């Protein structure tokens, strides 16, 4: 049943839609027109006449009994009528109300089952049978689309070719000459509106010489509405904007008259100003209604229940003032900034009008004082699921100025690669931390910083925590303290974080005999990684900026988007000002100094409604200096390979450079050890397409490697050299399957090594090991990655 033919059991005289063709497209957007088809062919398994989606649908159909579902729905509907009748005849309603809610939920589920079928039927899709009515609708839709895109004289027809119960449709398009915008004139008696239009003329979506496009007129109406509302025109809506078009059918040109209509409620569109602002925090229940406190700050009238809130804090998040012109963007941002405080259940901003004056009323209600959140989940490392449990206790408004006291506990297991050839196992982790989050900048900022920076949602986090890791090779514990500042720009386009003080005291009280021998062997070859496992006090200053262009991360968006993440860190900086001895063979307490830089760029580009291209480029470099004597803290190294890196290599196993790691007993790619490095270059290109229902597929190519800065005698070829690094770029390629349930994405990526830099020059192309008789190449050449979420 899984791979049965699409045309199996198709009635005589009916045909399976095999292909939609577009003929004659020259200037139009082909992918947009393809999105107008009312019928799409089923996605086929290559070289076959079968479809995964149809097979899934037919499997579900075999277990689906529509008559049984209808009977069950009728039964529950009758039961609901009976319960409603009993509710009207009794005073004991609690049990009946619960029963009614359950029945109503069941009825909704049955209606969904009746309309869309069972889970497998909803996941798959039925075979697409040619429907001439839908073909005619498609022709009409394409014709309308072309008209709205400036091809006013376009002609659309279609032909159908049938053979062996299969049909191919060809949509034949004659675009003809498009119409261009010849002139644009704005008709309005309102000088203020005309001035705003003239000052922003370069931002207009309707421009002389452009091809006529109805979408641009819609976008321009929206732009002007936003422009006017942000400049005081509170009552203005886009319904006051309309267009008259005058066609020249000989020259194929259009003259545009843009009209700003007068309002019916006044002589002209007026500019509105804020007359007063009132902020009210409603009590959570009637028992506090008489415990009212009034305050005034920055000409804002605050009303609280009890004295539990800071007028100064709330005032810093209100981005409009008395006497200021109305601006919708300031109102929206005020709502966002107040919500970001996490102090209130809701934020409701309304206005009363008197003439052209506005009384702003901000109404809120406090969020619950204490919140306990528990989370049970899985983390995926080395293809092994590691269960974890976390608990967060939050105390809101701790010092009555918007602070949040937070306690966080996490216990979990994680799949980690063994450094002593013990394979993959579960390491145990435990962490606990306490934080106070201040909704403002603290030391060393001056007193008025709250008012000055409030619009940027400033936060200061002070944190102290303890972490413990138990691996078979070693146990490691750390006590850490953090002072961090965060803020964002309007619209959350840019996010900034400064870790002004990040201090960690790390100990490794237990090291296994085998792992200790590995570290001693490396030391004898000049690699002093052993210092990374000595007791140490590690301090650093770091800064990070995340620039999000067009809402990157919304993978259902039809707009292209990108994200740039920049990170810089200076470790052990204060050691430059004191006389400290460098790490050496006699060191028993390690000290480190380093500089680290990382840039991560990601790009998401939708091709059409079903397919997208995603790209990532990642570069990082870390340079130990001074007392470090060439060694970094182990957590500060870069590692290449794994489910979110170069996927054809196991996690942390790629490189560095052209170094050939020790090979285990299980073959050429039995790499036993993690490979820390000081520099990394990664690029990833991925094509994603929806297959059917929740299932998406991906085809990807990953390229990159990691290197050591300077010679490493224990790993020949690991160092970065300008004259050969480009020859040491590893390349992996593969296919992926994703199950996207909106709230959860489960990912499977099958990746194969194509270029292996650990091989001698001239032998690095290893993809030819893959053949029909040996689909996965050499043992370990192909890696299956299991993960949660998208790789980037």
Rounded CA gap, 24 and 31, in Å? 14
pLDDT higher for 58 or 637? 637
Q: Is the pLDDT of residue 446 over 60?
A: yes
At 493-511, the pLDDT tens digits run: 899 999 999 998 988 888 8
Question: What backbone torsions phi and psi does residue 723 show, to the nearest 5 degrees?
Answer: -80, -5
DSSP 719: B
Cα pseudo-dihedral 789, 790, 791, 792, rounded to 10: -120
Non-local CB neighbours of 203 within 8 Å, separated by 6+ positions: 223
Query: What's the whole-number average pLDDT of the chain?
Result: 87
Query: Which of 384, 511, 402 has its CA nearest to residue 457?
Result: 402
| Residue found by looking up tokens 């000290």 in the block | 591
For residue 707, CA distances in Å to 220, 385, 465, 635, 636 come to 51, 29, 33, 16, 14
| Residue found by looking up tokens 């003929």 in the block | 23
Q: Is the pLDDT of residue 1 over 50?
A: no
| Residue found by looking up tokens 């990070």 in the block | 544
Rounded CA gap, 662 and 653, in Å? 11
- 337, two tokens: 């900034």
Residue 701's pLDDT band, with cuts at 50, 70 and 90, is very high
% of the chain beyond a pLDDT of 70: 93
pLDDT given for residue 242 in this prediction = 93
What separation, in Å, do the N-terminal and C-terminal C-alpha atoms of the chain show? 36
Strands (DSSP E) found in 516-636: 536-549, 561-571, 594-606, 611-624
Average pLDDT over residues 376-403: 77
Phi-psi region of 717 (alpha: psi -120 to 50; beta: other; left: phi over 0): left
Q: Is the pLDDT of residue 600 over 50?
A: yes
Average pLDDT over residues 65-73: 89
402 and 343 Cβ atoms separated by less than 8 Å: yes
Query: How far is C-alpha 201 from the geometric centre of its chain's CA atoms?
Result: 34
Q: Is the pLDDT of residue 207 over 70?
A: yes
pLDDT given for residue 790 in this prediction = 85
- Hey, is 30 helix, strand or coil? helix
Element (DSSP H or E) covering residue 122: helix 119-123
- 198 CB-contact burial (10 Å; exposed 0-12 / middle 13-18 / buried 19+): exposed
Rounded CA gap, 96 and 76, in Å? 15
Residue 461's pLDDT band, with cuts at 50, 70 and 90, is very high
Query: How far is C-alpha 585 from the geometric centre of its chain's CA atoms?
Result: 47
Residue 521's pLDDT band, with cuts at 50, 70 and 90, is confident
- For 742-779, give one letter per residue: b (16+ CB within 10 A) or e: eeebebebbbbbbbbbbeeeeebebeebbeeeeeebee
Residue 2's pLDDT band, with cuts at 50, 70 and 90, is very low
For residue 308, CA distances in Å to 144, 281, 299, 364 come to 60, 10, 20, 14
Antiparallel, parallel or unpaired: β 782-788 and 745-755:
antiparallel
Q: What is the pTM of this model?
A: 0.80
Rounded CA gap, 721 and 708, in Å? 10
Kindly report which listed range (287-296, 609-618, 754-763) carries the lowest average pLDDT score: 287-296
- 675 CB-contact burial (10 Å; exposed 0-12 / middle 13-18 / buried 19+): buried
pLDDT given for residue 515 in this prediction = 78
Residue 416's pLDDT band, with cuts at 50, 70 and 90, is low
Query: Which of 782, 788, 654 has its CA nearest to residue 380?
Result: 788
Non-local CB neighbours of 594 within 8 Å, separated by 6+ positions: 569, 570, 571, 572, 622, 623, 624, 625, 628, 632, 633, 636
Average pLDDT over residues 412-423: 58
Average pLDDT over residues 358-387: 79
| Residue found by looking up tokens 């049965």 in the block | 4
């Amino acid at each position: 049943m899984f791979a049965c033919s699409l045309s199996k059991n198709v009635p005589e005289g009916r045909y399976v839609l095999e292909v939609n063709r577009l003929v004659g497209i020259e200037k139009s957007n082909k992918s947009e027109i393809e999105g107008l088809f009312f019928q799409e062919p089923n996605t086929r398994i290559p070289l076959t006449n079968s479809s995964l989606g149809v097979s899934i649908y037919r499997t579900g159909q075999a277990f689906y009994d529509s008559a049984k579902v209808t009977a069950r729905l009728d039964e529950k509907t009758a039961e609901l009528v009976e319960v409603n009748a009993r509710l009207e005849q009794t005073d004991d309603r609690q049990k009946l109300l619960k029963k009614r809610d359950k029945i109503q939920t069941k009825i909704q589920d049955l209606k969904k089952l009746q309309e869309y079928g069972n889970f497998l039927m909803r996941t798959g899709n039925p075979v697409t049978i040619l429907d001439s009515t839908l073909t005619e609708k498609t022709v009409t839709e394409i014709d309308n689309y072309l008209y709205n895109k400036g091809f006013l004289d376009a002609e659309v027809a279609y032909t159908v070719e049938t053979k062996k119960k299969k049909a191919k449709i060809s949509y034949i398009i004659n675009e003809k000459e498009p119409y261009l915008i010849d002139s644009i004139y704005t008709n309005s008696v309102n000088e203020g509106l005309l001035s705003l239009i003239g000052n922003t003329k370069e931002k207009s979506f309707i421009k002389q010489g452009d091809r006529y496009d109805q979408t641009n007129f819609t976008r321009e109406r929206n732009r002007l509405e936003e422009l006017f509302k942000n400049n005081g025109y509170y009552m203005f809506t886009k319904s006051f904007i309309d267009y008259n078009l005058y066609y020249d059918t000989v020259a194929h040109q259009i003259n545009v008259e843009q009209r700003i209509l007068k309002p019916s409620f006044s002589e002209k569109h007026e500019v509105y100003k804020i007359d007063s602002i009132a902020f009210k925090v409603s009590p959570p229940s009637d028992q506090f209604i008489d415990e009212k406190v009034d305050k005034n700050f920055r000409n804002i009238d605050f009303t609280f229940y009890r004295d539990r809130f800071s007028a100064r804090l709330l005032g810093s998040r209100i981005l409009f003032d008395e006497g200021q012109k109305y601006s919708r963007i300031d109102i929206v941002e005020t709502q966002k900034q107040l919500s970001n405080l996490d102090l209130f259940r809701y934020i409701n901003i309304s206005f009363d009008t008197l003439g052209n004056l506005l009384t702003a009323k901000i109404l809120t209600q406090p969020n619950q004082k204490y919140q306990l959140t528990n989370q049970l989940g899985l983390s995926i490392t080395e293809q092994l699921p590691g269960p974890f449990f976390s608990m967060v206790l939050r105390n809101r408004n701790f010092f009555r100025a918007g602070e949040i006291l937070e306690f966080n506990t996490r216990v979990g297991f994680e799949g980690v690669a063994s450094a002593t050839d013990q394979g993959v196992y579960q390491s145990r982790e435990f962490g606990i931390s306490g934080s106070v989050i201040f909704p403002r900048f603290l030391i060393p900022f001056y007193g008025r910083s709250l008012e000055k920076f409030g619009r940027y949602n400033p936060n200061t986090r002070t944190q102290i925590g303890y972490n413990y890791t138990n691996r078979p090779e070693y146990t490691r514990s750390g006590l850490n303290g953090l002072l961090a500042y965060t803020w964002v720009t309007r619209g959350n386009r840019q996010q900034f974080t400064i870790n002004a003080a990040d201090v960690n005291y790390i100990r490794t009280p237990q090291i296994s005999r085998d792992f200790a021998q590995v570290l001693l062997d490396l030391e004898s070859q000049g690699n002093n990684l052993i210092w990374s496992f000595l007791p140490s006090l590690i301090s650093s200053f770091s800064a990070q900026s995340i620039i999000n262009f067009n809402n990157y991360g919304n993978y259902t968006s039809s707009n292209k988007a990108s994200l740039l993440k920049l990170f810089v860190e200076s470790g052990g900086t204060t050691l430059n000002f004191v006389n400290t001895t460098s790490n050496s063979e006699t060191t028993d307490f390690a000290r480190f100094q380093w500089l680290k830089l990382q840039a991560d760029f990601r790009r998401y580009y939708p091709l059409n409604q079903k397919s997208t291209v995603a790209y990532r480029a990642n570069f990082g470099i870390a340079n130990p200096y001074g007392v470090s004597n060439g060694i970094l803290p182990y957590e500060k190294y870069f590692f290449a390979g794994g489910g979110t890196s170069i996927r054809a290599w196991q996690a942390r196993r790629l490189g560095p450079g052209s170094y050939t790691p020790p090979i285990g007993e299980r073959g050429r790619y039995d790499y036993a050890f993690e490979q820390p490095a000081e520099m990394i270059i990664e690029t990833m290109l991925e094509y994603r397409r929806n297959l059917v229902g929740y299932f998406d597929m991906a085809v990807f190519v990953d390229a990159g490697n990691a290197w050591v800065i300077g010679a490493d005698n224990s790993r020949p070829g690991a160092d970065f050299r300008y004259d050969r690094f480009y020859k040491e770029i590893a390349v992996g390629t593969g296919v992926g399957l994703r199950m996207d349930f909106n709230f959860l994405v489960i990912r499977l990526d099958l990746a194969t090594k194509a270029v292996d830099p650990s091989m001698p020059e001239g032998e690095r192309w290893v993809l030819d090991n893959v053949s029909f008789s040996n689909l996965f190449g050499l043992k370990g050449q192909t890696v299956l990655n299991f993960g949660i979420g998208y790789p980037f």
